[in-house]
Structure 1
Amino acid sequence: MEVTQFRYLLLVLLLTCGLAPEVAAEVEESSDDPRAPRGPVWLTNVPAAMEFIAAVEVAVIGFFQDLEIPIVPAFHSMVQEFPDVSFGISNDSEVFSHYNITGNTISLFRLVDNEQLKLEGEELESIDATKLSHFISINNLRWVTEYNSMTGSGLFNSQIEIHLLLIIDKASPEYEKNMHRYQEAAKLFQKKVLFVLVDSGVMENQRAISYFRLKMSQLPALAIYRTVDDKWDTLPIKEVTLEQVQNFYDGFLEGKLL
Structure 2
Amino acid sequence: MAPLLSLIISLLAASVIAEDSALPSLNDVTAAEAFIEASEVVVIGFFETPSDETFGYKEFVEAAKTVKHIPVALCSDKEAWAKLGIVSDTISIFRKADNHQDNLQLSETKKVEADGLARFITMNELRYITEYNQVTAVGLFQSEVKAHLLLFINRGSSDYEVLKDLLGALAPEFVGKFLFVLVHGVKSNEKSLGYFGLTSRDLPRVGIYDRDSDMKWLMPEGEISTERVRKFCQSLILGNLKEVKQAGERVPKTEL
Residue 24 of structure 2 corresponds to residue 41 of structure 1? yes
Residue 4 of structure 1: aligned partner: none
Bigger Cα displacement from structure 2, 89-98 vs 247-256:
247-256
Aligned residues: CA RMSD:
2.4
Aligned residue type for 1:103: S
Residue 151 of structure 2 corresponds to residue 166 of structure 1? yes
Does the 8 Å CA contact 2:59/2:112 hold for their aligned counterparts?
Answer: no
Residue 227 of structure 2 corresponds to residue 251 of structure 1? no
Residue 254 of structure 2: aligned partner: none
Aligned match of 2:72 in 64, 70, 87?
Answer: 87
Structure 2: distance between partners of 1:116 and 1:204? 30
Residue 230 of structure 1: aligned partner: 214
Structure 1: distance between partners of 2:75 and 2:208? 40
**Number of positions where the alignment pairs a residue of Structure 1 with one of Structure 2:** 234
Q: Secondary structure in 2 aligned to 1:165?
A: strand
Aligned match of 1:189 in 174, 188, 194?
Answer: 174
Aligned match of 1:57 in 27, 37, 40?
Answer: 40
Does the 8 Å CA contact 1:162/1:225 hold for their aligned counterparts?
Answer: yes
The structure-2 alpha-carbon separation of the partners of 1:245 and 1:102, relative to structure 1 and needing over 3 Å to count, comes to: same
Q: Secondary structure in 2 aligned to 1:88?
A: strand
Q: Secondary structure in 1 aligned to 2:43?
A: strand
Does the 8 Å CA contact 1:225/1:231 hold for their aligned counterparts?
Answer: yes
Question: Could you list the runs of 5+ residues in structure 2 that have no partner in the other structure?
Answer: 246-256
TM-score after normalising by structure 2:
0.84
Q: Secondary structure in 2 aligned to 1:224?
A: strand
Does the 8 Å CA contact 1:43/1:88 hold for their aligned counterparts?
Answer: yes
Q: Secondary structure in 2 aligned to 1:149?
A: coil
Aligned match of 1:205 in 178, 181, 189?
Answer: 189
The structure-2 alpha-carbon separation of the partners of 1:223 and 1:23, relative to structure 1 and needing over 3 Å to count, comes to: closer
Question: Could you list the runs of 5+ residues in structure 1 that have no partner in the other structure?
Answer: 1-18
Residue 95 of structure 2: aligned partner: 110
Structure 2: distance between partners of 1:155 and 1:239? 27
The structure-2 alpha-carbon separation of the partners of 1:37 and 1:57, relative to structure 1 and needing over 3 Å to count, comes to: farther
Does the 8 Å CA contact 1:220/1:238 hold for their aligned counterparts?
Answer: no
Q: Percent identity?
A: 33
Aligned match of 2:57 in 72, 75, 78?
Answer: 72
Aligned residue type for 2:19: A
**Which 4+ stretches in 1 moved above 3 angstroms?**
23-26, 121-125, 236-239
Q: CA deviation at 1:126?
A: 1.9
Does the 8 Å CA contact 1:219/1:236 hold for their aligned counterparts?
Answer: no
Q: CA deviation at 1:235?
A: 2.4
Aligned residue type for 2:158: P
The structure-2 alpha-carbon separation of the partners of 1:229 and 1:42, relative to structure 1 and needing over 3 Å to count, comes to: same
The structure-2 alpha-carbon separation of the partners of 1:171 and 1:157, relative to structure 1 and needing over 3 Å to count, comes to: same
Residue 14 of structure 1: aligned partner: none
